[in-house]
C-alpha cells in the first residue's frame, strides 16, 4: 500500500512540473508575440513619420580619390645630402680653370667664348638667386649645393649667386667669393659663370649658366 502512495505522489509531482513547464513555455511565447507586435508598430510608426521615400539617382560623376603621398625615404635623402656636401671640396684649386680676366670668369671645356660674352651681356634672364650673406662657410656650401640641385630640377637655365663683397668680414676680405667659384667649378650642372653686371650685384655676385 505504501508503494502505491509513493508512486501517486511522484506522479503528482511530475504533473506539477509539466504544468509549470507548459505555463513557462506559453509565457515565453506570449512575450515573443508581444515583442514582434511592438516592433511592427514601431516600424509602421516610423514609416508614417517619414512618408514616402525614393532612392537617390545614380551620379555620373567620377569618384574623387586623392592619391596618398609616396613614403619619404629619409635615409636616402640623408645620403643624398651627404653626397652633395662631400662633392664640394674646399681643397679644390680653381685658379688654373678661371679665365685670366679681371672678373675671373669660367667656362667648362667645350663651351665657346661666345657663351661667356652672352652671359656677361645678360643674354639669359636670371630665373632665380641665392643670397649667401651672413652664412658661415659650411652653411654656404650646403645652401649652394641644395640651391643648384633644385634649380636644375625646376629647369632653370640662369641663376645668380650673391656672395657679397666681404665688407663686413674680418680684414674686409671676401672669404666666400673665392669659395663660391671653387664650389661652382666642381658642379657638373654648371657650364659657365661670370661676375654679375653692376645692376645685378657687380663684384658681390656671380651669374651662373646651367646645363639646359
Residue 92's pLDDT is 47
User: Which of 28-42, 95-109, 180-194 comes out lowest in average pLDDT?
Assistant: 95-109
Closest residue by Cα to residue 85 from 134, 47, 138: 138
Per-residue pLDDT tens over the stretch 151-202 = 999 999 999 999 988 665 555 556 788 899 999 999 999 999 999 999 888 9
> Count of CB atoms within 10 A of residue 104's CB?
18
Q: What is the DSSP string of 30-64?
A: HHHHHHHHHHHHHHHHHHHHH----PPPPP-SPPP
- The span from the first CA to the last CA of the chain, in angstroms, equals 123
Residue 177's pLDDT is 87
Query: Residue 20: is its pLDDT beyond 50?
Result: yes
Residue 8's pLDDT is 67
Residue 90's pLDDT is 52
Packing angle, helices 175-185 and 137-153, rounded to 10? 40
Selected residue with higher pLDDT from 182 and 101: 182
Amino acid at each position: 500500500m505504501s508503494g502505491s502512495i509513493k508512486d501517486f505522489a511522484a506522479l503528482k509531482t511530475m504533473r506539477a512540473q509539466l504544468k509549470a513547464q507548459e505555463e513557462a513555455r506559453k509565457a515565453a511565447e506570449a512575450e515573443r508575440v508581444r515583442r514582434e507586435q511592438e516592433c511592427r508598430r514601431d516600424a509602421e510608426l516610423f514609416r508614417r513619420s517619414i512618408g514616402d521615400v525614393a532612392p537617390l539617382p545614380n551620379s555620373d560623376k567620377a569618384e574623387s580619390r586623392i592619391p596618398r603621398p609616396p613614403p619619404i625615404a629619409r635615409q636616402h635623402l640623408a645620403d643624398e645630402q651627404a653626397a652633395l656636401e662631400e662633392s664640394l671640396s674646399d681643397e679644390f684649386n680653381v685658379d688654373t680653370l678661371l679665365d685670366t680676366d679681371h672678373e675671373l670668369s669660367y667656362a667648362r671645356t667645350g663651351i665657346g667664348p661666345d657663351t661667356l660674352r652672352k652671359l656677361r651681356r645678360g643674354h639669359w634672364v636670371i630665373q632665380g638667386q641665392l643670397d649667401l650673406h651672413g652664412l658661415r662657410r659650411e652653411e654656404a656650401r650646403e645652401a649652394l649645393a641644395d640651391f643648384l640641385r633644385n634649380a636644375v630640377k625646376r629647369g632653370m637655365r640662369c641663376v645668380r649667386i650673391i656672395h657679397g663683397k666681404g665688407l663686413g668680414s674680418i680684414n674686409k676680405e671676401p672669404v666666400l667669393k673665392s669659395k663660391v667659384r671653387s664650389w661652382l667649378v666642381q658642379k657638373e650642372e654648371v657650364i659657365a659663370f661670370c661676375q654679375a653686371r653692376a645692376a645685378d650685384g657687380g663684384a658681390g655676385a656671380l651669374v651662373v649658366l646651367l646645363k639646359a
